Amino acid sequence: MSSRVEEIIRRRVLTEVEKYPFFQRAVVALSGGKDSGSLLHAFIDTYPNKEVIPVHLNLGIKGFSEASECFAKMQAERAGLRLMVFNLKRELGFTIMDAERLYPKVCSVCGGFKRYLLNKIAFELGADIILTAHHLEDFLVRMLKSVLNAGFEELARFKTYLPRNGNLIAKGRPFCRVPESLIVEYAFLKGIPFLSEKCPIGRKENVERFRRTVEILARRQSQKLLYFSSLTKLAEMLQNSGAVTMPELTPCSSCGFLASSEICSFCARMKKIRAFLGRDQAP
């Protein structure tokens, strides 16, 4: 018999995923943490007939990345799946720690690299969708930050599901209405091993302030869900009003994936990092 927590999460995952167009092959981004590990198991329990490919990105953060990959492998093995690992150093010749030397505010660069690489991997695997474990508080923090900073274009892009657009694979966030506290309970209940350590090079003081603000504004889960619904409606209004113009996407002249500029940010940054490392290593 399933527990109350398992049933709540299963129902909320089911409610979200049933809104998506039909898909069969899903890539699940697996970091080794509690959120993605719980998503992998909850999704498989809810949709046992779907094909699931867990993918881990090893970013080359000394000590942390090795531990993350180890936990991601344990999570995949516990689900009866083989983990696919993309090692940034081995595949591209540099790490996120190398990128940090050129980009001190490396979190946004890291996020962009992860989005690009997950899409590239999913595209090459012939996947229908990429599933990530962004939970309720993740959405509330980012949406509230966008509102208070008048980032209306950013807010308009917040969706729990993004349909496929050419070679940009569809993206789903089945945990968007699941609070972090329930994910923690679920992970312990199911015996899912996970890395609790946070990224040592992440600088998210501003994000943490917004997270504390969310907890002050909404102490109960019902309040968080209400605020999420309100902010989602606001985002939809912006999308439909025409007040926010979304950028036109064209193929990157270097890699061919759709981007808002002639050369996508991934290719431009990769070229810059390699040039920087080449100069640094020159005699």
Q: Tell me the pTM.
A: 0.94
**Residue 71 in this model has a pLDDT that exceeds 90:** yes
170-172 and 258-259: which strand pairing?
unpaired
CB within 8 Å of 18: residues ≥ 6 apart: none
Residue scoring higher pLDDT (207 or 72): 72
Indicate the domain borders of the chain. 4-136+147-204, 250-283
Q: Tell how far CA 243 is from the center of its chain.
A: 27
Distance, CA of 13 to CA of 96 (rounded, Å): 32
Which of the residue ranges 29-33, 95-99, 190-194, 244-248 would you say has the lowest mean pLDDT? Answer: 244-248
For residue 281, the model assigns a pLDDT of 57
Distance, CA of 268 to CA of 109 (rounded, Å): 11
CB within 8 Å of 68: residues ≥ 6 apart: 31, 32, 33, 56, 58, 195
Residue 82 corresponds to which tokens in the numbers above?
């083989």
- Give phi and psi for 3, each to the nearest 5: -80, 175
Residue scoring higher pLDDT (204 or 124): 124
Question: Domain 4-136+147-204 - what CATH class?
Answer: alpha beta
The 3-class secondary structure across 153-205, one letter per residue, is HHHHCCCCEECCECCECEEECCCCCCCHHHHHHHHHHHCCCCCCCCCCCCCCH
- Give phi and psi for 238, each to the nearest 5: -65, -40
